[in-house]
Amino acid sequence: MSHLGETGENFALRDGSSIELDAAGFLHPRAERSRQTGFTRYVEITHVAASARGIWIASEDDLVVVPSERFESADGPARLREALLRRVAERPGGAEALARMSAIEAVGSDEGTPYAVYGLALLCILAFVVEFFFHPEVLFVGEFSPRLALAGEVWRIATGNLLHGNLVHIAANLFGLIVLGRIVERDLGSVGTLCVMGVSAASAMLLSGLLEDNEVVGVSGVVLGLGGSLAWVELFHRNEQPAWWRFPRGLRQLMLGALAIDLVLGFVVTFIAGAAHLGGLLGGAAVTAWLTRNGLRSPLGSLARALAVWVVALTMGSLAWAGGELAGGNYVARHIARLTELPDVSFAELNKVAWLTAIDPDATRVELLAARYIAERAVHETGHQQAAVLDTLAEVQFHLGRPSDALASIDRAIALEPGVSYYREQRRRYTGERPAHDRPPDPALLPPSPRVPPLPLDEALKGVVRE
């Protein structure tokens, strides 16, 4: 324990240590449960708050939290707060510092309910349920495809954010959306958060279309946009937050590191849409910089409110447009015809659409005939040298009631990859040795093999990049 001068004060803690105030600053525990000590000067304090739970002391670069149970005296947090405010007031510019704290205190009293974040989460859940019952039509009409968006199907920029591949995919994204979104909506309000989410949703899909040639589904571009917004606030506006909103320096560094790691993984792990993550983060950070240019909770102008209205209107309009396409009847066949009209459609995209159509138990004969056309085109474009593409053609032929053609196609696949038992099991289906409905299990869940045909859980993701 240090020796305090005449101006010193001491607040005893139960572990035998203490919080000590001297003329320039105070000595305190470095973390809530830590016995290590740190020193903070009074001129660095931005806000102090105390309650029955403890005391929060925000400084320019850190946050000190001391729970009530660590104090020897029950009124320790309240007395420490009074002492710190008195020390701040005694310094030059103290009156202005206390006025800023009062303004910060007012910000913290207006948190509100995160309606914008909850609304987006609900839309994702509803879209997942609809996709479950109307698959693959909903996937085909809603996934973001750069070619189809450029060809006029611009609703995909919005709907691609709402669709997800499976339960794990949507659960992970909803967790990030709600955790980060609640913090951002607390900081920026519902109008500002709608602006962040709308711009990050669009920038995620647009950058993905510019840098990557894949179909994309998932709301994680928005999640990264919220992360970018949070990072901007933490880097440039944290001193405008009440102490109980603040992150300790270590947690802030961990959050920024996690965002950086996510971006790196996005360009390394093949099933993560790295460009969409980067686009979302940049969009979210840019909008937050614009919204907070006059301060964290400065009044939003008419332009920001108009942007929020447009975000809602365009999202609802996109959903209505996509729904109208589905209501037109036989959408899968029309979607396949649309694909065949576009230049430079990859064989992988053709193969994915043909496969998902073939395994759809509700596929009509018209849809299966359309699927056979693009499956044959994919086989031709790969020079009959891709076993997975031949397998798709065989599946379509089998469901069209042409088992002899299916056998010829699967025999070519077996010749190309004789070591993969999946193709031999497919052949047994076509000969009747195995039930027609009993497709063999996904080799991706077995020891590695060159072929990755889908299981029911992942059928929607064949060739679709997950955000």
pLDDT-derived band at 442, boundaries 50, 70, 90: low
Answer whether residue 396 shows pLDDT above 50. yes
pLDDT, tens only, 199-224: 999 999 999 999 887 889 999 999 99
pLDDT at 463 over 50: no
Task: Check residue 467 and give its pLDDT.
Answer: 56
In the three-class reduction of DSSP (H, G, I as helix; E, B as strand; rest coil), residue 94 is classed as helix
Q: Residue 341 pLDDT > 90, yes or no?
A: no
pLDDT for the residue 155? 96
pLDDT at 450 over 80: no
Least confident of 6-10, 24-28, 285-289, 306-310: 6-10
pTM: 0.87
Average pLDDT for the chain = 89
pLDDT at 199: 97
Query: What per-residue confidence (pLDDT) applies to 213?
Result: 78
Q: How do 37-41 and 464-466 pair as beta strands?
A: unpaired
Residue range 95-113, pLDDT digits in tens: 999 999 999 988 887 778 9
Identify the pLDDT of residue 7.
59
What average pLDDT does this structure show over 405-429?
94
Residue type at 87? R
Tell whether omega for the bond before 92 is within 30 degrees of 0, i.e. cis.
Answer: no
Q: Note the pLDDT of residue 443.
A: 63
29/17 Cα distance (integer angstroms): 9
Lowest mean pLDDT among 232-241, 262-271, 275-284: 262-271
121 C-beta neighbours (distance < 10 Å), count: 19
Q: CB 270: neighbour CB atoms within 10 A?
A: 9
The 3-class SS string of 374-407 reads: HHHHHHHHCCCCCHHHHHHHHHHHHHCCCHHHHH
The reported pLDDT for the residue numbered 464 is: 42
Could you tell me what percent of the chain has a pLDDT over 70? 93
Alpha-carbon radius of gyration of the chain:
29
pLDDT at 272: 81
Choose among 144, 165, 148: nearest CA to 345. 148
Q: Classify residue 389 as exposed, middle or buried by CB count within 10 Å of its CB (0-12, 13-18, 19+).
A: buried
Question: Each residue of 90-104: b (16+ CB within 10 Å) or e?
Answer: eeeebeebeeebeeb
Structural element, H or E, at residue 19: strand 18-21
Residue 460 pLDDT exceeds 60? no
Q: Express each pLDDT in 285-328 by its tens digit.
A: 999 999 999 988 888 899 999 999 999 999 999 999 999 999 98
Instruction: pLDDT band for 465, please (50, 70, 90 cuts).
Output: very low
Confidence of residue 466 (pLDDT cuts 50, 70, 90): very low
Domains of the chain: 9-108 (2.30.29), 115-326 (1.20.1540.10), 331-466 (1.25.40)
Cβ pair 256, 281 in contact under 8 A: no
**Residue 457 pLDDT > 70, yes or no?**
no
445 pLDDT above the threshold of 70: no
Lowest model confidence (mean pLDDT) among 7-11, 345-349, 370-374: 7-11
Helix (H/G/I), strand (E/B), else coil: 272: strand
The arithmetic mean of pLDDT across residues 406-423, rounded, is: 94
* pLDDT at position 265: 85
pLDDT of residue 271: 74
